[in-house]
Amino acid sequence: MNEIYTPDEVAKLFKISKHTVYELIKRGELRAFKVGNKMRIEQNEVNRYKQEMETAPAPKPAAAHAIRLAGSHDFLIEHLVKYAARQTQGLSIHPTYVGSLEGLMMLYRNSCDAAAIHLLDPSSKEYNIPFIKQLFVHEPITVMRFASRVQGFIVAKGNPKNIKSFHDLTREDVVFVNRQKGSGTRYLIDYHLAEEGIDPQVIHGYDNEEWTHSATASLVNGGKADAAFGIQSATENLQLDFIPVMKEQFDLVFRWTEQNQATLKQFIDMLTDTAFTDSMQNKAGYDVSEFGTIIYDHRLRS
């Protein structure tokens, strides 16, 4: 299992100061991601940096361009970040996993260049576009289909509590682990509870919030919760079962400015390159048949 470290823990591992760790992250020498407003580093990234230190390779040139990507946590987004880091075109991606709604708000405030979102509008039953049209009236915006994902119940192997529906979460013997407010998955959970007339407060663990699909799946895997609601790919390499509920649309939203125009074009070129498209294939729980399709473009003004 890929362990996650804090900057303090990495500092102790390498016997360096915490400030040095943050400087390494800032320079792009140590890749990190944000969970809320806190930095985290994956174990495989710690191992990679340790190996580089031991073999003392020639220093890598700093990335010439950076994309600030905010929004939902997703394993294909993680794959995208790692893929970009292996390329030689000088493009780096700095992710901030704050949930779909906050990612879209960061884009609205011009605090990032792109947002990764999956927000279901309860009225129209349409994903993402209703929220975008409400927020971005004058700003030049492009929306690209990234993937369709399967969301459902994450349960222990064999589904010992026989959890098949949201009503099963209300049972006394079931402990649930939720996602944080503002995440697209939380929107989806609350939508289903409202549709089925379920009071959230009767669900044991409804107020127990985690920031990533990995975190909720890990709690179920460790026996600290009986069920979570999340994406199928979170169950990979864990002794868990998955009960599919629905397919949802996961999109990338780009906001064009004079400052990021060239970098965004480079980013989109990388996304639509055959090599990256091929690397997206055969991921469990994802349908990438529409990947790269521009589903909304608000740059052309009449």
Percent of the chain with pLDDT over 90: 68
Compute the mean pLDDT over every residue in the chain, rounded to the nearest whole number: 89
User: Residue 267 — pLDDT band, cuts 50, 70, 90?
Assistant: very high
Give, in words, the CATH class of 4-147+252-297: alpha beta
**Does the pLDDT value for residue 59 go beyond 70?**
no
**What was the pLDDT predicted at 58?**
44
**What was the pLDDT predicted at 64?**
54
Which residues have CB under 8 Å from 199's CB, separation 6+? 193
Per residue in 103-150, pLDDT (tens digit) is: 999 999 999 999 999 999 999 999 999 999 999 999 999 999 999 999
Q: Parse the chain into domains and list their residue ranges.
A: 4-147+252-297, 151-247
Q: Do the beta carbons of residue 107 and residue 253 sit within 8 Å? A: yes
Q: Does domain 151-247 match CATH 3.40.190.10?
A: yes
- Residue with token string 């971005």: 136
User: Residue 60 — pLDDT band, cuts 50, 70, 90?
Assistant: very low
**Does the pLDDT value for residue 61 go beyond 80?**
no
Helix residue ranges per DSSP H, 69-179? 75-86, 100-108, 129-135
**CA nearest 118: which of 165, 74, 178, 84?**
74
CA atoms within 13 A on the CB side of 295: 20
Per residue in 194-227, pLDDT (tens digit) is: 999 999 999 999 999 998 898 899 999 999 999 9
**What was the pLDDT predicted at 148?**
96
**What was the pLDDT predicted at 56?**
47
CA distance 127 to 247: 11
Count of CB atoms within 10 A of residue 64's CB?
11
**Does the pLDDT value for residue 63 go beyond 70?**
no
Q: Are both 4-147+252-297 and 151-247 of the same fold?
A: yes
Question: Can you say how many angstroms the Cα of residue 135 is from the centroid of all Cα atoms in its chain?
Answer: 21
**What was the pLDDT predicted at 86?**
87
Most confident of 25-29, 87-91, 157-161, 212-216: 157-161
Phi/psi of residue 145, nearest 5 degrees = -70, 125
Helix axes 7-14, 18-27, angle to 10 degrees: 110
CA distance 17 to 10: 9
**What was the pLDDT predicted at 62?**
42
Per residue in 11-50, pLDDT (tens digit) is: 888 877 776 787 678 767 788 888 877 888 888 888 887 7
**What was the pLDDT predicted at 21?**
80
Arithmetic mean of pLDDT, 143-165: 97
